[in-house]
């Protein structure tokens, strides 16, 4: 029998039935539920008189809309109050576990899933949010779904899906100082394009991936969707197991031993055939910054804004100029000459403890530049508590950052944290589309340490300059 990829192994193990034409009905092990995409799904259950097939297979939390400042007061009267109330009511009626906004387990859905051990290798996991691919860092098939699909999962614990083709992305070499996995994934997207992964499940392999922490692997898988692929995976190794051991929802006792034994084979076979292969030597990378309105429109921080007139394809030329116009940038401008108004450190891409540590290391003994406002929003309450135990909050506050409660915050213009029209932000989030952080807001994606460096200087900055003068 020919070798199989990790994706194929997990997929094949979850087929309930196959249809003529190529679709499969696959079993869904786990479903994360949040306040934005779930109301329509619950309304569909109400309308058709359906029950939830396995309430314990779902876990619910409010993250997108929740305020990160004055939360208890805002949730009495603010915009998010109704959304949170509705989620609480729906979860209560259908007996789905719900994590309250003041609970120490609260946080962004893609941060708390792994933290709690809800995310497990070899499973299928879905959520009504496209960055569900984050969980693939644990060797599972995890992908975002729409509201009607959420209803289907709630009612039947299955989904009709088309199996994706497979892409192997080999990341090799050692990360240079000042370069993080965020820079790697931005550089990869700039290389293959925002459509480069469409139709593929991407498996990340190579020496650079093996060297990554689980937190960095989550950052990597998180941005897979920005390359057009719904699924990003990393094979299971001892780091995966160590991360999950002892988590509240991880298997216990003999079940843990059995699970570890079952997870051991969750890697692609040596002779597995991928439909497409890409490789990147990460040792040659510099810190990356997005300049446009897609993650593909990114360059090294040492680079310049590209000139649309150098583009021969008229459609691409038009797209480049449109991005420049929205971002109010001029071709040829040095990236390091671009000044900023705001800094956002957080999100399901870079709101974990390692991200906060790396940003705090840049900020220690330094202050935010005059005229710049900066917030740091831990990805979860547990992250916030851990950061405070290490004194990171004091470093951020001393530098002039606001220290907020956990939530999606300024990653998405769905709550009180947003950019005003024309404001320019150094952001650790994952999307820089027009209006993503607020109508008319301008987003530059980068790593946490690059965002910290920008906060200190008030402009897009090569963090290596600050590292060298420690």
Q: Strand pairing of 23-27 and 15-18?
A: antiparallel
Nearer Cβ to ligand SF4, position 131 or 342? 131
Binding window for ligand SF4 (CB under 6 A); candidates: 14-22, 47-55, 332-340, 405-413: 405-413
Contact flag: residue 451 with ligand SF4 (CB under 6 A): no
CA pair distance 399, 344, nearest whole angstrom: 14
Taking the least distance from each CB to ligand SF4, the nearer of 437 and 461 is: 437
Q: How far is the CB of 259 from ligand SF4 (least distance, A)?
A: 27
Name the minimum Å distance from CB 377 to ligand SF4.
Answer: 9
Our finding on whether 408 is near ligand SF4 (CB under 6 A) is: yes
> Exposure pattern of 202-223 as b/e (b: 16+ CB <10 Å)?
bbbbbebbebbebbbbbbbbbb
405 binds ligand SF4 (CB under 6 A): no
198/231 Cα distance (integer angstroms): 10
Establish if 112 lies at the interface with ligand SF4 (CB under 6 A): no
Which one, 293 or 429, has the nearer CB to ligand SF4? 429
Q: Any idea which residue has 């962004």 for tokens?
A: 108
| Per-residue H/E/C for the chain | CCCCCHHHHHHHHCEEEECCCCEEEEECCEEEECCCCHHHHHHHHHHHCCCCCCHHHEEEECCCCCCCCCHHHHHHHCCHHHHHHHHHHHHHHCCCCEECCCCCCCECHHHHHHHHCCCCCCCEEEECCHHHHHHHHHCCEEEECCHHHHHHHHHHCEEEEECCEEEEEEEECCCCCCCCHHHHHHHHHHHHCCCCCCCEEEEEECHHHHHCCHHHHHHHHHHHHHHCCCEEECCCCHHHHHHHCCCCCCCCHHHHHHHHHHHCCCCCCCCCCCCEEEEEEHHHCCCEEECCCCCCCEEECCCECCCHHHCCCHHHHHHHHHHHHHHCCCCCCEHHHCECCEEEECHHHHCCHHHHHHHHHHHCCCCCCCCCEEEECCCEHHHHHHHHHHCHHHHHHHHCCEECCCCCHHHCCCCCCCCCCCCEEEECCCCCCCCCCCCCCEEEECCHHHHHHHHHHCECCCHHHHHHCC
Q: Is 348 in the site for ligand SF4 (CB under 6 A)?
A: yes
By beta-carbon proximity to ligand SF4, the closer residue of 113 and 287 is 113
Minimal distance, residue 73 CB to ligand SF4, in Å: 22
Kindly tell me which of 9 and 436 has the beta carbon lying closer to ligand SF4.
436
Query: Please, what is the minimum distance in Å from the beta carbon of residue 195 to ligand SF4?
Result: 19
Q: Which range of residues in 74-82, 103-111, 190-198, 462-470 is near ligand SF4 by CB under 6 A?
A: 103-111
**Minimum CB distance to ligand SF4 smaller for 24 or for 63:** 63
Of 16-24, 105-113, 294-302, 355-363, which segment contacts ligand SF4 by CB under 6 A?
105-113
**Residue 411 contacts ligand SF4 per CB under 6 A:** yes
Of the pair 80, 408, the CB lying nearest ligand SF4 is at 408
Residues 34-73 touching ligand SF4, rule: CB under 6 A, are: 63-64
Q: Return the number of the residue (405 or 462) whose C-beta is nearest ligand SF4.
A: 405
Q: How far is the CB of 350 from ligand SF4 (least distance, A)?
A: 9
Question: Does the protein bind ligand SF4 through residue 31 (CB under 6 A)?
Answer: no
CB of 313 to ligand SF4, least distance (A): 30
Among 347, 350, 358, 380, binds ligand SF4 (CB under 6 A): 347
Q: Does 110 bind ligand SF4 (CB under 6 A)?
A: yes
CB 106 within 8 A of CB 61: yes
* Nearer residue to ligand SF4 within complex by CB, 109 or 233: 109
Q: Min. distance of Cβ 408 from ligand SF4 in angstroms? A: 3
Would you state the torsion angle of the CA atoms of residues 238, 350, 189, 198, taken in this order, to the nearest 10 degrees?
70
Select 121 or 379, whichever has its Cβ closest to ligand SF4.
379
Q: Interface with ligand SF4 includes 129 (CB under 6 A)?
A: yes
Please identify, using beta-carbon distances, which residue of 14 and 431 lies nearer to ligand SF4. 431
**Is position 108 an interface residue for ligand SF4 (rule: CB under 6 A)?**
yes
Residue 418, interface with ligand SF4 (CB under 6 A)?
no
Residue 109 Cβ vs ligand SF4, minimum distance, rounded to whole Å:
6
Among left, alpha and beta (phi > 0; psi -120 to 50; other), residue 95 is left
Residue 412 makes contact with ligand SF4 by CB under 6 A: yes
Output the smallest distance, CB 351 to ligand SF4, in A: 7
Q: Which residues bind ligand SF4 (CB under 6 A)?
A: 63-64, 108-110, 129, 131, 347-348, 408, 411-412, 429-430
């Amino acid at each position: 029998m020919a070798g199989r990829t990790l994706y194929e192994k997990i997929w094949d193990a979850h087929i309930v039935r196959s249809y003529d034409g190529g679709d499969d009905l696959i079993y869904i092990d786990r479903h994360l539920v949040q306040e934005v995409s779930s109301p329509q799904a619950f309304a569909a259950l109400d309308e058709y008189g359906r029950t939830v097939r396995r309430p314990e297979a779902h876990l619910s939390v409010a993250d997108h809309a929740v305020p990160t400042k004055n939360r208890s007061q805002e949730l009495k009267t603010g915009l998010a109050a109704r959304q949170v109330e509705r989620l609480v009511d729906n979860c209560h009626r259908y007996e789905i576990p719900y994590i309250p906004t003041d609970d120490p387990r609260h946080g962004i859905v893609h941060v708390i899933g792994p933290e709690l051990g809800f995310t497990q290798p070899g499973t299928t996991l879905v959520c009504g949010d496209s960055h569900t691919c984050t969980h693939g860092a644990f060797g599972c098939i995890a992908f975002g779904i729409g509201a009607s699909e959420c209803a289907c999962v709630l009612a039947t614990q299955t989904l009709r899906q088309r199996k994706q083709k497979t892409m192997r992305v080999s990341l090799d070499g050692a990360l240079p100082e000042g370069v993080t996995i965020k820079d790697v994934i931005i550089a990869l997207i700039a290389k293959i394009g925002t459509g480069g992964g469409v139709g593929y499940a991407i498996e990340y392999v190579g020496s650079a991936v093996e060297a990554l922490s689980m937190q960095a692997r989550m950052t990597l898988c998180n941005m897979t969707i920005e390359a057009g692929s719904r699924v990003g995976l990393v094979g299971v190794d001892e780091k995966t197991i160590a991360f999950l051991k002892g988590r509240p929802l991880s298997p216990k006792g003999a079940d843990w031993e059995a699970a570890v034994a079952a997870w051991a084979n969750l890697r692609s076979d040596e002779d597995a055939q991928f439909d497409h292969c890409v490789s990147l030597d990460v040792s040659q990378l510099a810190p990356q910054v997005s300049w446009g309105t897609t993650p593909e429109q990114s360059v090294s921080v040492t680079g310049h804004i590209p000139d649309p007139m150098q583009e021969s394809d008229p459609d691409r030329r038009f797209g480049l100029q449109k991005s420049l116009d929205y971002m109010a940038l001029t071709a040829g401008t040095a990236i390091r000459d671009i000044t900023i108004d705001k800094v956002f450190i957080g999100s399901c891409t870079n709101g974990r403890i390692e991200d906060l540590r790396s940003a705090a290391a840049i900020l220690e003994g330094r202050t935010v530049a005059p005229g710049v406002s900066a917030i740091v929003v831990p990805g979860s309450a547990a992250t916030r508590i851990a950061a405070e135990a290490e004194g990171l909050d004091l470093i951020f506050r001393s530098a002039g950052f606001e220290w907020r409660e956990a939530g999606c915050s300024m990653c998405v213009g769905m709550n009180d944290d947003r950019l005003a029209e024309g404001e320019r932000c150094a952001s650790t989030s994952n999307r820089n589309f027009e209006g993503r952080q607020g109508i008319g807001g301008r987003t530059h994606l980068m790593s946490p340490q690059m965002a910290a460096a920008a906060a200190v200087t008030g402009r897009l900055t090569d963090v290596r300059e600050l590292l060298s003068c420690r």
